[in-house]
Amino acid sequence: MPQLPREDYKIIVRPREGLRVSDHGAARIANSVYQAADIPREAREQDTICPNYQQNIIVVSNPVEEHANRYQRIACIKLGTQEFEASAYEAAPENTSKGVIRGIPLDDTALDITANVITPRNPTALVDKRMGNTTNVIVLFDGYRVPSYVKYGGALTRCSLYRKQLDVCYHCGRLGHRADVCPNPNDKICRGCRMPNPPENHECKARCQLCDQDHPTADRTCKAMYKTPFLVRKRRWERSRQEQENTSYAAQERPSNANSASDQSESFPRVSWADKVKGASAEASSDQKVAKLEEDESGQSTVQKDASDQQRAASSGQSTVQKDASDQQRAASVRDTADRRREPGAEAKKSKVPGLSPRSPPPIRLIVSLESSAEDHFTTTKRCRAHFHVRRT
């Protein structure tokens, strides 16, 4: 059935005497309802009539209270030349919930029940109605909350959430409608074995269509014949949605939590099961682990220092070799200079001392050079190199 306006009055019309709503069109059903309620054509613009073929009822929606009262007074529907008995009532409005109180005496009339229930002591109670000829009374409350207790006069009565039963016809044995609006009064089936038009002394092995148990379909002991209340479905939906949101939020926060947990585990090491058996405390185990970490760090620092010392020694050895090579080059250059000066022609050409003849022997020049070796480089560098020049006069 389509969605109807939430603010409108909802009137349920239940036809009887075998009227099958599905055998007639929606327009014909609407005209018959308008005529039965005596609604003029000019005032029908805001009214909506929608047949429910599964439950074999007629739903009327309108925003005018006067029209709603007229629809509730329908007692007969005329289709062509046939007239069918009918009953009408107002359905529960939106944003309401139903509860059941039990143990109400059968002697209490409808007025007595209303006077005991619809009072300032029950501020959310709107309407009450007895369930047939039983001691149970349905109470309609404002909002989506059913109180746990209702004050019936001066007595505090337990109130439970109303659970609607699945529509089952005990007249024809079919599901989807009730016996008072049965469209098939002459076509019956067995509720146990689904045999059509069974005889009066029919015996069979019953099997329920709802729960597949060994009892007639929708028996009073069947637990599957009750519908899940709207409040329960609403709460389940809200709970599942909240769980999904929490799961998605936890999935987003999981990396940060993992990092924090790892950091905490590193800063506060846990005690192993072996330590627990031995009676060791968390502080002792943590101190041992810290000491081990310090030893590892000291060992690493020692290795690093040795490596740096080796690098320094290698660099100093290279510098020493370079210095020795430079000293050897200097000594070689000094020897070359001394050899050149020993040549007679060169010394004679350079010598311009008065009184010295060219044939005279060249002056004797003694050059003494103290050279150092690579092994005692640091000691010999402190000594000075002496050059002695001896010249004949």
Q: Give the whole-angstrom CA distance, residue 138 versus residue 106.
A: 14
CB-CB contact of 91 with 12 (8 Å): yes
Q: Are residues 125 and 157 in the same domain?
A: yes
Q: CATH number for the domain including 65?
A: 3.30.70
Q: pLDDT band for position 307 (50/70/90)?
A: low
Read off the tokens for 41.
């054509």
Sheet with strand 57-62: strands edge to edge: 48-52, 57-62, 9-15, 82-90, 76-79
Confirm whether 213 is domain-assigned: no
The number of domains in the chain is 2
- 254 vs 223: which has the higher pLDDT: 223
pLDDT at 391: 44
Residue 270 three-state SS: coil
In a domain, 149, yes or no: yes
**Interval 56-73: pLDDT, tens:** 899 999 998 899 999 999
> Rg of the chain over CA atoms, in angstroms?
58
**Is residue 105 domain-shared with residue 142, that is, in the same domain?**
yes
Is there a domain that residue 257 lies in? no
83 lies in the same domain as 121: no
Question: Could you give the CA distance from residue 59 to residue 76 in angstroms, rounded to a whole number?
Answer: 15
Same-domain status, 81 and 52: yes
Report how far residue 36's alpha carbon sits from residue 41's, in angstroms, rounded to the nearest whole number.
Answer: 13
- Do residues 116 and 81 both lie within one domain? no
- Please check whether residue 52 lies inside any domain of the structure: yes
- pLDDT tens digits, 334-387: 677 766 666 555 444 444 444 444 454 554 444 444 444 444 444 444 444 444
Render the burial of 158-168: b for 16+ CB within 10 Å, e for the rest: ebeebeeeebb
What span, in angstroms and rounded, lies between the C-alpha atoms of 34 and 49?
9
Residue 142 domain flag: yes
Last residue of a domain, one of 90, 113, 143: 90
The pLDDT assigned to 178 comes to 77
Grouping H, G, I as helix, E, B as strand and the rest as coil, residue 278 is: helix
Alpha-carbon span 239 to 223, nearest angstrom: 24
Shared-domain flag, residues 63 and 14: yes
Give 17's pLDDT tier (boundaries 50, 70, 90): confident
53, 71, 90: which is the final residue of a domain? Answer: 90
Note down the domain range covering 33: 9-90
Residue 281 included in any domain = no
pLDDT at position 220 is: 75
Placement of tokens 């529509």 in the chain: 167
pLDDT tens digit string along 178-217?
A: 777 787 777 788 878 878 888 878 888 888 877 878 888 8
Same domain, yes or no: 43 and 103:
no
Residue 26 pLDDT > 50: yes
Q: Would residue 320 count as lying in a domain?
A: no
Q: What is the pLDDT of residues 290-306, one digit of tens each?
A: 566 666 666 665 656 66
Residue-level pLDDT at 378: 44
83 lies in the same domain as 109: no
Residue 49 belongs to what H/E stretch? strand 48-52
**pLDDT at residue 112 in the model:** 93
Domain boundary among 161, 182, 217: 161
**Residues of the chain with pLDDT > 70: what percent?**
64
Query: Do 53 and 116 lie in a common domain?
Result: no
> Do 40 and 103 reside in the same domain of the chain?
no
Reported pTM: 0.49
In sequence order, what E strands does 91-193 have? 96-101, 125-130, 137-142, 149-152, 155-161
Same-domain pairing of 106 and 80:
no
Do 83 and 156 have their domain in common?
no
Q: What is the spatial distance between Cα 266 and Cα 280, in angstroms, rounded to a whole number? A: 19
Q: Coil, strand, or helix at residue 71?
A: helix
Better-scored residue on pLDDT, 118 or 260: 118
Q: Is residue 130 part of a domain?
A: yes
371 or 44, which is more confident: 44
Q: Look at residue 1 and tell me whether its pLDDT is greater than 60.
A: yes
pLDDT, greater one: 377 or 150: 150
